[in-house]
Structure 1
Amino acid sequence: MGRVSPFPPPGPLRTLALATLANTVGTGLWLAGGALYLTRDVGLSPTSVGAGLTVAGLVGLTASVPLGGLADRWDPRTLRAVLQVCQAFAAAAYLLVDSLAMFLVVAVPEALLSAGNLAVRAALVAAVGGPAGRVHAFATLRAVANLGITAGTALAGIALAVDTHRAYQVLVVGNVATYLLSAALLLRVPRQRAGGGARRVTDAARRGGPLRDGRFLAVSGASAVLGTHLTVLTLVVPLWTVGRAGAPPPVVSAVLLINTLLTVLVAVRLSRGADTAAPAARKLRRAGLVLAAATPLYAATAGLPVLPAVGLLLVATAVWTVGDLWQGAAGAGLAYDLAPPHAIGAYQGADGLLAGLAQALGRGLLTLLVLGGGAAGWLVLGALFAAVGLTAPALARRAVASRPAPTGEPAAAGQPVAPV
């Protein structure tokens, strides 16, 4: 009988999953309540909060590659625990915010820590899962993260319902506590070896590092474009559901719940077969085509009565989620397999940097495309996703062909490249 629980059997991955659960409960708390705390309790304007978070997020991306590279030199478990403690202090500092200037003083360091920690987390997942199990571990933690965010969002609802200064303070302190609990759980994971030693990392840096590896960046960029499915689901679809499909606001929760449930139930299963570049690229191609197939379904909801529109929204989201999960697993598999074994953290940082930039740009561009273009906008988005997905195998072939031989010697003439 297959496992229903997203939690793995006892072992290092189970402990890492519990740390992820604790961390993402705090994520859910802050995602649901942070903006309201800053506007309703602190008194900042919504425009100031939005602009401040955008600036902080873009600045924060600059920490991805350096901190990822640090995980190649230092035990990523300990580094991630230290960063979680630092994030706890940054989260607590929101209690001191009383102006836009102070908000930026807190938000920018917090964003730097957050972006860098994502790269370190990816290096830790690779270390715990090993070459044969890291994509499985990634998918497992993604399923657990969805549970944590859902739980945190529900808990935040209590503070938002009370809507008092003390309730918002409790929300902030709860977020702080989840960082500290996550750090404590991380220290129960066995220490992990750094990614290959300082000498080899220095050699990699001399060759230019991930930001000068154009073929890796091309593959990662394709994955990042498809990864904007998250922005579409969490920003564009809710606005379309209420504004164009004419559904009542509670339907938005049902749409997002479908995505969460499917992620928890099938994320691990759909991640299978993405451990190396060739099959991962094929899975990324399928992801692009499936995401493209969902776009006309979303577009059609604008011309239907409410009940059929709601039904079609749920079907479209189920299809969208399959593409979402294939993209996540394939993107992880490609980013891991195309990275030099001694520089996995730095390469995960570069992958995260491109993903973050795509999300930042996508918020405005995708909203304008779909909400401004209507059904035609959805179809253009579908064509873009299909085209990017179809390019993935060729991009991956070029990246694989450019890798040095494992022995460090030049590849033999005529050495075959695995088909993608």
Structure 2
Amino acid sequence: MRKIFETLRGYLSRFLGGNGLTIIDVCDEEAVQDYIRDPFSNSSFCLAMQKRADATKSVKLSIFTGEGENKKEVPNHSLAILGEYVSSSISYADFIDYVLNWSIAKDKGCLIRKVNGLSWLAPDLRVYHPDNFNIHFNGTEISRIEIINPGENISDPNEIKNNFLWIKSANYYQEVAGISPNSYGTGLSNQNSMGILGSFIKKVWTWNWRLSKNSGKINGVISGGSGHLTKEDREEIRDRYAAMSSGTNNGKPLILSGDAKYQDTSKSPIEADWLNGEKTAHERICLSVGVPPELVGGGQSTYANRKEAKKELYTDTVIPWMQDLVNQLNKLFAKELKGAYFDIKISHIEALKLDKSEELKALDSIKDRLTVNEYRKAAAEITGLKIEDIKGGDVIVIGTETLENLSTPIGGSGNEKEDDI
């Protein structure tokens, strides 16, 4: 991260230097660490994660048996209720929100616990906040799970294996699964790599806010010339200048006595503007959590772009994440599922449905190769409308005539065939 930090510092120094400015910890490491500790205070991250969470919560969870053509939903399975409520106090939507945000934004991720109750009821799922647990390791194996509040230590290997899921980001700094011997286990969240951009965008907002308070101008420099300015002189000049550069006195010239010199370092709002930097940082943070910027106020936000971006959000981000979570839930509930399995349902999601008008155009292009009833059946499948077969509709119509009439010879030898027609 330090290397990335220094590289970005170099880019920003050249950018600011070209505007007559000097960079002094524009993206200081303390700000980076603040962002990593609490990315939820950054509006770019929150906007992107809210969009991703809403999309993920629209994916339905259900239970199935069989594969391929034999795949069948089992709505009356005892675990089906988990697709609506994972416990008496946490809905499926809340569960997705917690797991998604904590596993991506926090190094420690989140901990999911299966709590068994009566045998004929679905177990509850409990989700622990990253600050409320520690995972202890012996080598690469979990040796103990520590729950901070209420205090509890779980060290039974079977209990850990059968009743806990630890959802986290991978840690690319470690050789094996992000684990150091005899240490707490954490992952390296996506937001770690975006910490510098997070601190940068915060600095941009601060910069632009200060410019707006100062009438869009950067202050100048007053020096003592060949003479000497006492401490009292410097304070008086600073106070007068500050008063004249804002409020009702804004715009009045500052007249200095003696040989004190004033150097104007102001830039126009356009020259000193960092809005482009803010936009870039915002877009990078959105991309870091898998959300196309077009959906959260970035990029080229046209109707066509947003439509394609919604589809991309599901296909590239939401569905792969959900499938991974479902695989882990199937492992956690293997005993209770009894041969069935959790899977996702996405057919109801509008963003993933094919454009009906385009499908109808494609169907119309082969209209003269289908019978009337075949065409009506295909149109019903595309539109979802109830279109029944009609009497005498098992014929192909070309223009206003049936293929049979067109293939009937008028005079001639009478040896023509339908294929010839």
Asked whether the two chains share a fold, i.e. TM above 0.5, the reply is no
TM-score, normalised to structure 1, is 0.20
Higher strand share: 2
TM-score, normalised to structure 2, is 0.20
Higher helix share: 1
Return the index of the structure with the highest Cα Rg. 2
